[in-house]
Amino acid sequence: MGMENIPTTYDPAQVEEKWYRHWEEKGFFHAPVDEGKKPYCIVMPPPNVTGQLHMGHALDNAIQDTLIRWRRMQGFNTLWLPGTDHAGIATQAKVEESLAAEGLSRNVLGRDKFLERVWAWKERYGGRITAQLRRLGSSCDWQRERFTMDEGCSRAVREVFVRLFEQGLIYRDYYITNWCPHCHTTISDIEVEHEETAGHLYYLRYPAAGHPPQGGSGWIEVATTRPETILGDVAVAVHPDDERYRSMVGTTVILPLVGRELPVIADEYVDPAFGTGAVKITPAHDPNDFEVGRRHNLPQIKVMGEDAAMNSDTGPYSGLDRYECRKRIVRDLRDGGYLVRIEDITHSVGQCYRCNTVIEPALSRQWFVRMKPLAEPATLAALKGQVTFIPERFTRIYLNWMENIRDWCISRQLWWGHRIPVWYCAECGEMTAAVTQPDRCRCGSTGLEQDPDVLDTWFSSGLWPFSTLGWPCQTAELAYFYPTSVLVTGRDIIFFWVARMIFLGLAFQGEVPFPSVFIHGLVLDPLGRKMSKSLGNGVDPIDVIESHGADSLRFMLLTGNTPGNDIRFNFERLEGARNFANKLWNASRFVLMNLEGYSPGEETAPPILADRWILNSFNDTVRNVTQSLEAFELGEAVRLAYEFIRGEYCDWYIELAKPRLYGADPLDRALARRVLVQVLRGTLELLHPFMPFITEEIWQHLPGAGPTVMLAPWPACDPELSDPEARAKMDLIQEVTRVIRHLRTEVNVPPGKKVNVLIGADDYQLAVLEEGSEIIASLAQAVPAFSRGTPERPEQSVQAVAGVGVTVVLPLKGVLDVDKEKARIQQEQARLRDDMARTRGKLANEAFLAKAPPAVVEKEKGKAAEMAAKLEALTERLALLG
RNA sequence: GGUGGCUUAGCUCAGCGGGAGAGCGCCUGCCUUACAAGCAGGAUGUCGUAGGUUCAAUCCCUACAGCCACCACCA
C-alpha cells in the first residue's frame, strides 16, 4: 500500500458507503441461532415507517449500535433486530393531508381504497428511514427486519387481543374518553398533553325552582371554564359538609337558557374552596362529572358531535363550533342576567399530542384493557430488580405510573392499523373475538360484521420484543433470544412503550422482555430548546453525516453527556469530533508511512521504557473502557479512549518513536514499529463500536488485517502488560520535559535551538532521568545534565543563566523530598487499611449480609477490591522510592 | 398540587468523599519531515446559598433560591 496516496485529511464520504455495503453483503450483521454461543439481543425501537431520521433516532441508534458492536467483538452472538412502526394516527394524518391536496378525503374514497393509498404511501416512503439508519452505520440484522403490520406481527396482535379478551382483561364500555376533534378519534390518557393556558372562569347564577328554601338566596352560583357545556348540565353539586349550601341539597334549580330542572346534589368530589363551591355537572362532557353522574344515577346529555360542534339537541346553538357557541352562550347568559362575573384564570388544557387540538372529553363506546391485573406483576418485576432502569431514578417514574395506572383505551376511530378482531352478530348481538374471521356466530347466523375501529399503535409495539421473534409460534429465535439483553430508548416513551412491553411480556412470555432499560435524554438544539418542526430548529442527521461523517456525529452524540440527561446539539463539539477523526487518521498515516518493509514476525529488541509505558497505558485503557461499557457509561468509555490516543499515543509515543524509526538500530526500529502497530490496532478496535467507519478503514490498512474489524476480538486486559514502574518513570520524565519546555518559552528560547539543562535530583530520580535522557533531549530540545541534590536558589539560577540561553538549572518541584513523599504514602496506606478493615468487617457480618440488598453487597465487595488494588499500587510506589 | 433533574472556567459540559477537569473560546510562540481539522506553553473557578454528617465534602444529608422536565380529574 502506498501511503503517498493517503490524503492528509480524512474524507468520510470516501469510505462510509463502501464499508457499510461490505459489512452488509458479507452478512456480518446476521445472527443465526447458535446454541454454542451466548446470545446478545436488542430490539430496535421501531421508528415510524414513513418517517425521517431525526437526532433522537441518531442518538438512540448510535447507543444501540455501540453496544451491539462491542458485544459482537466480545464474541456474543449478537442480534440487533430492526423494524418499523405503522404509526397509526401519524401516518393516516399524513396520507389524509396528501389526499386533501388532491381535493379528496378518506370518506370520499372509502375504507378499502383509502387503505390502498396508505399502503402505497408506505411502499413509497417505507425504505427511507431504514436507508438513513444504514448511513449512521447501524449494524442491525436487516434479514430479520420487521414491520408492526406485517403478517407475523399482526397475527401476534390478534392472538394477544383474543387471549386478553377471553381472560376478561379486555372489555368494551361506554366511557368518557379524550376525543380529538381534528383527528376524529379517541386517544389514550397519555396521548393528551396538558398545557397551561390563559382562559376565563365564568360565574353563573342558576335560580332556585319554586320557592327558595329557608335561608336560601333564591339561586345558586356555579363557576365554569366551558360555559357551552351548560347545555348538557344535569345537576349542581356541592360538598356534603358545605354549610353554605346544606339547605339547598335535595332541592332543584333551573338551568338558564334551557329551563331544565336540575337537582342539587352533595358529592365529596367538590372542592368547597374553588370557585363558589358549587359545580355544574355535565356527565357527557367532563370526566369528573361523568363519575359524579354515575354515583348519582344522572342522565348523560351529549351536546357536541365529532367535530366538537354543537349537535342537533342544542336548539338555537345547533351546528355552532364549540368556541363560537361559547361566545353566544355567554352573550345570552349576560342578556338573561345569569352571568355574574368573568375572571381570568390559567388552567391546564389537554391537547392532542399529534395535532395540538384541544381535546374534548366525550362519551363513547370504546375498548379498554383492564390494567390492574397486568400492572401488578409489572410493578413487582421492577421492585424485585428483574428490570433495572439506567439511570436508576427512572425506576421510580415507572413505578409511580404503574401504581396509579388507569385502564388503557385501545380503540381508535382510524382506518390505518390493526382492526379490532371482534365481530358482531346482526341477529343476536353476540360479540365474537377471534384470531381469524369467523364464518358464523354461535347462534348460527352468518350476518357478522367486524368492529370498525383499529387498535392503538402502542398495542402492537408493546408486543415488539416477542412478536418480532416469531411469537405466537415457539420459534428457535424466541427461545434463544428472549428475553432480550437491554432496551435502549428515550425517556419520553417510558409510559407509551416500555411499560407496555414489560407488562405484555410478563403476561405472554412469563418473563420480562429485558433485564435492563437504558434511558437516554432528548437531543436539544444549540440553545437548549426541543427540536421541533414548528420552530424549524431541527438539525438533520443526514446533513451532518454528509458534512462531517457518521463517525463524527456518533462521537459527538456519545460524548460529554450522561445517561438520562438531555444533550445539546453543538456544532463546536461536532467539529471537535471531526478533528479527532482526522487526528486518528493522521496518526495512522504516520504509522503506515513508516512500515516500509515491515513484517509482523521480524526480530525485535526487548521493549524499552517507552514501549513498556505505552503498553501499560493501553492496557489500562482497555480495562477502563470495558468497565465503563459494562456500566453503560458510553460517554466515559469513549472519553477514555480519546484521552489515550491524543494524550499518550499521539502526543508522546509517536514522538518518542520518531528518533527510533529514523535511527540506526534495526532491532530497535523493528520494536518501535511493532509496538506502534500493536497499540494502534488495539486502539482502533476499542474505538470501533463508537466510530465504526474510520476504524474499519484504517484497520484494513494495517498489516495482517482480517475480513473486518467488526469481528476482531475485543482487546483483552493483559496482566503481562501491566507495568506501574514504567508508568512511574515516564511520569517523571514527562514532568521534566514539560518543565523544560515551559522554561524555554519563559525565557524565549527559539523553537529549534537546543538548550543545556542542569537538573538536580535525588538518587532514584537520577537513575530514571538518565534512562530517559534521550527522551528529554529530543522532546525538549535540550542537552540535559544531572546533578545530585537541589541546586541552590534555583529560580535565580534559571534567570541568570538562561538569559544567556545556554544552561538551565532546574529544580524538580515537589518530588524532590523523598522522605515527605514516603510519609504521605504511608499515611494513605494506613487510612486504606483502616477502611478495608471496616469494609471487610461489614462483609463478614452476617446480619449485614442478610439484610442488605445484593447490589449493596456487590458494591461493598467492589470497594474492598478497589482498595486492595490501590494499596498494592502504593506499596509498589513506595518500593520504587527505595 | 406531586415527583424528578440541573446549578462546576467566558460558552457547552464531564467528574463526584482525600489532587478541581475536558472541548471550544482567549493569550504567547511555532507551517518542528502524521496532522494548522495541527504543535508547544499559558491565564481563568469562594464547584448556586446556608447549615449538618465526617479525621476529610464540589461529591453524602437537610433547608433555601433559580432554571428545566414529567405526572395530576383545579370545575
User: pLDDT for A480-513, tens place per residue?
Assistant: 999 999 999 998 888 889 999 999 999 999 999 9
Residue A854's pLDDT band (cuts 50, 70, 90)? low
Closest-lying nucleotide for A739 based on CA to C1': B41
User: What confidence tens digit (pLDDT) does each residue in A185-223 have?
Assistant: 998 888 888 888 888 889 998 888 776 555 556 888 898
Closest-lying nucleotide for A662 based on CA to C1': B33
Residue A810 has pLDDT above 90, yes or no: no
Nucleic strand B under 7 Å from the C-beta of A202: no
The Å distance, CA of A502 to C1' of B66, is 38
User: Strand B: which residues 389-408 of A lie within 7 A (CB)?
Assistant: 393, 396-397, 400-401, 404
User: What confidence tens digit (pLDDT) does each residue in A34-51 have?
Assistant: 999 999 999 999 999 988
Residue A122's pLDDT is 94
CA distance A244 to A204: 17
Percentage above 90 pLDDT, chain A: 48
Q: Give the largest Cα separation in chain A, rounded.
A: 118
Q: Cα-Cα-Cα-Cα dihedral of A462, A466, A469, A473, to 10°?
A: -120
Residue A844's pLDDT is 67
The Å distance, CA of A618 to C1' of B33, is 27
Residue A591's pLDDT is 95
User: Strand B: which residues 232-271 of A lie within 7 A (CB)?
Assistant: 269-271
Closest residue, CA to C1' of B71: A401
Closest residue, CA to C1' of B41: A742
Q: Which of A19-28, A394-403, A775-784, A801-810 has the highest mean pLDDT?
A: A19-28
User: What confidence tens digit (pLDDT) does each residue in A101-155 have?
Assistant: 998 888 888 999 999 999 999 999 989 999 999 999 999 999 999 999 999 999 9
User: Strand B: which residues 729-748 of A lie within 7 A (CB)?
Assistant: 738, 741-742, 745-746
Residue A852 has pLDDT above 80, yes or no: no
Nucleic strand B under 7 Å from the C-beta of A193: yes
User: Strand B: which residues 414-473 of A lie within 7 A (CB)?
Assistant: none
The Å distance, CA of A733 to C1' of B56, is 32
From the CB of residue A780, how many other CB atoms can be counted at a distance below 10 Å? Answer: 23
Residue A314's pLDDT band (cuts 50, 70, 90)? confident
Mean pLDDT to the nearest integer, A826-842: 69
Strand, coil or helix: A167:
coil
The Å distance, CA of A530 to C1' of B48, is 25
User: What confidence tens digit (pLDDT) does each residue in A257-286 have?
Assistant: 888 888 999 888 888 888 888 899 999 899
User: What confidence tens digit (pLDDT) does each residue in A422-432 have?
Assistant: 999 988 988 99
Q: Position A849: which residue type?
A: L
CA distance A376 to A123: 40
Strand, coil or helix: A316:
helix
Nucleic strand B under 7 Å from the C-beta of A831: yes
Closest-lying nucleotide for A582 based on CA to C1': B37
User: Strand B: which residues 502-541 of A lie within 7 A (CB)?
Assistant: 524, 528
Residue A1's pLDDT band (cuts 50, 70, 90)? very low
The Å distance, CA of A673 to C1' of B34, is 14
The Å distance, CA of A58 to C1' of B14, is 21
Q: Classify residue A329 as exposed, middle or buried by CB count within 10 Å of its CB (0-12, 13-18, 19+).
A: buried
Nucleic strand B under 7 Å from the C-beta of A409: no
Residue A797's pLDDT band (cuts 50, 70, 90)? very low
Nucleic strand B under 7 Å from the C-beta of A637: no
Residue A371 has pLDDT above 70, yes or no: yes
CA distance A137 to A16: 8
Distances (CA, A) of A871 to A438, A619, A805: 74, 20, 45
CA distance A619 to A716: 8
> Which residues 6+ apart lie within 8 Å of A151 measured at CB?
none
Phi-psi domain of A528 (left: phi exceeds 0; alpha: psi -120 through 50; beta: other): left
Residue pair A513/A469 in contact (Cβ under 8 Å)? The answer is no
Distances (CA, A) of A87 to A94, A159, A175: 11, 20, 25
Residue A805's pLDDT band (cuts 50, 70, 90)? very low
User: Strand B: which residues 10-69 of A lie within 7 A (CB)?
Assistant: 10
Handedness of CA A863, A868, A871, A873 (dihedral sign): negative
Residue A795's pLDDT band (cuts 50, 70, 90)? very low
Nucleic strand B under 7 Å from the C-beta of A646: yes
User: Strand B: which residues 322-381 of A lie within 7 A (CB)?
Assistant: 345, 347-348
Residue A250's pLDDT is 85
Residue A813 has pLDDT above 60, yes or no: no
The Å distance, CA of A743 to C1' of B9, is 25
Closest-lying nucleotide for A568 based on CA to C1': B12
The Å distance, CA of A173 to C1' of B27, is 73
The Å distance, CA of A225 to C1' of B74, is 11
Cell of A463: 408486543
Q: Which of A20-24, A767-771, A849-853 has the highest mean pLDDT?
A: A20-24
Closest residue, CA to C1' of B55: A831
CA distance A202 to A223: 5
SS (H, E, C) A549-607: CHHHHHHHHHCCCCCCCCEECCHHHHHHHHHHHHHHHHHHHHHHHCCCCCCCCCCCCCC
Q: How far is CA A593 from the centre of its chain?
A: 41
Residue pair A637/A745 in contact (Cβ under 8 Å)? The answer is no
Residue A315's pLDDT band (cuts 50, 70, 90)? confident
Q: Which residues pair with A278 in a beta bridge?
A: A238
Task: Provide DSSP, A37-86.
Answer: S-EEEEEPPPPBTT----HHHHHHHHHHHHHHHHHHHTT-EEEEE-EEB-
User: What confidence tens digit (pLDDT) does each residue in A509-543 have?
Assistant: 999 999 999 999 999 988 888 888 777 888 999 99
Which ipTM was obtained for this model? 0.94
Strand order through the sheet with A782-788: A782-788, A755-761, A807-810
Protein footprint on strand B: which nucleotides are under 7 Å from a CB? 3-6, 12-15, 18, 22-24, 28-30, 32-42, 55, 70-75
Residue A213's pLDDT is 55
State the average pLDDT for chain A. 87
Residue pair A680/A702 in contact (Cβ under 8 Å)? The answer is yes
